[in-house]
Chain A
Amino acid sequence: MKSLGISDFSEQEVEKIDETIGIYKSSKLLGTGSIAGNVLKYIGVCNEDTVPGSSFNTIVSELINKLAQKGIFHVFVFTKRKYEKSFQYIGFNELAYSKKGAILESGAANIETYLSHVPRVTNQVHKTVAAIVMNANPFTKGHRYLVERAARENDLVYVFVVNNDVSLFSTSERFKLVTRGVADLKNVIVVDGGSYMVSYLTFPSYFLPDKEDKIKYQTTIDARIFRNKIASELNIKKRYIGTEPFSKTTGIYNKVLKDELPPRVTVVEAARQKDDTGSVITATKVRKMIAANNVKAICNFVPQTTYKFIEDNFAELHARIERGININGN
């Protein structure tokens, strides 16, 4: 590797790798590739003395088979656009690209499968359909207001709940809280955001702080997947977002959404809701109140359904905080 001038892997890049493989001819390295979770990484081959592409295909096959042994059949890769073709030849499909790179996926459970499981209503192509993507960690009155408003202004609203288990409330808990919190709104469908909306895969800096240009790249990819694959398929014409006064990442994300989604999808930005005393409602504050044992104050911020859940599970939530789960993120 060093003879080819490839030596600048940072600690952050290397620590997430689960496995690395290499092809050798006597002691010379001809090709290598790695896996981290369900993502193929750092694939490099030397085409000297071989049929172009053959080492590449060998490496990728081996990585896919290694993942299959672990029960992972849905594989992603991020790559520069000039290498995209090589992956497309072996069955990968592009999800989105930006100037910096593209994301492709391969396997049985692809985005078409995901979308085919999203519930539809009759005559959806003639309805006005809106979408909201939320982490709802936990579901607050602010979220409720946003959904209510979208439900009033549209025939159908999809609420996509971010799928990740790296924060205080688990995916299934957050999903349950959103479903209960909007149960009375008949034109709202709550859907699991899967791997495609603000996921740990496409948008890791939502969960881990990162540099601005990285956030821009990731949010652009996220916005384009939403625009090109999801909104078009479900006839979504509007996306509702809340203004972001605090988080830098969400602030950039909102700006990128406004740049990328129109004209196909209109972005509707609603002002943040305040509680009776005039302080802005955020889920971050709610998590901090839980940490500070301030249960009473929470009821100003969250609907009854969420409040009841927090009350019932207070000990467990507190135990998670004590085990050191991050409550400061998004």
Chain B
Amino acid sequence: MEIKRTAIAGTLESSDIQIMLSKGTEGIQVTLKSDVEKQFGDQIRKVITSVLKSFNIENAKVTAVDKGALDCVIKARTITASQRALEIADSPEWEVL
């Protein structure tokens, strides 16, 4: 699916992650800022990418600012950002969740 507009979800508070999704042209590009990038950077990117794939988003720019979020939080925030970016927040695709 194509991203219709830039969207944001999450906060910058401890244990949360802020995900911003915008249009891209070269696949899924994740820019990640995290204090635990060294330890968990790959895992965080993997979670974000897999959620986007489940929405069939092929091209997107992702800006993520992580404050130590657990995987379930990363997943939840990415889902919300995707639904907003695809403008389907009113009629979520329950099957991908």
Which residues on A are within 8 Å of B, measured CB to CB?
A: 51, 54, 57-58, 60-62, 64-65, 68, 71, 73, 89-91, 107-109, 113
Contacts and interface: CB of A to CB of B under 8 A. Distances in A.
Interface string B1-25: 0000111100111100010111000
Contacts of B6: 71, 73, 108
Nearest to A109: B22
Interface of B: 5-8, 11-14, 18, 20-22, 33, 35, 61, 63, 65, 67
Nearest to B66: A91
Nearest to A73: B6
B77 to A, nearest CB: 12
Contacts of B35: 89
A150 B66 CA distance: 46
Nearest to B23: A108
Contact of A61 (B11, B61, B63): B11
A172 B6 CA distance: 24
Nearest to A93: B33
Contacts of B8: 64-65, 68, 73
B63 A108 contact: yes
A58 B13 CA distance: 6
20 contacts: A58-B11, A61-B11, A61-B13, A61-B18, A68-B7, A68-B8, A71-B5, A73-B6, A73-B8, A73-B20, A73-B22, A90-B12, A90-B18, A90-B65, A90-B67, A91-B18, A91-B33, A91-B63, A91-B65, A107-B63
B25 to A, nearest CB: 10
Contacts of B7: 68
Contacts of B61: 108, 113
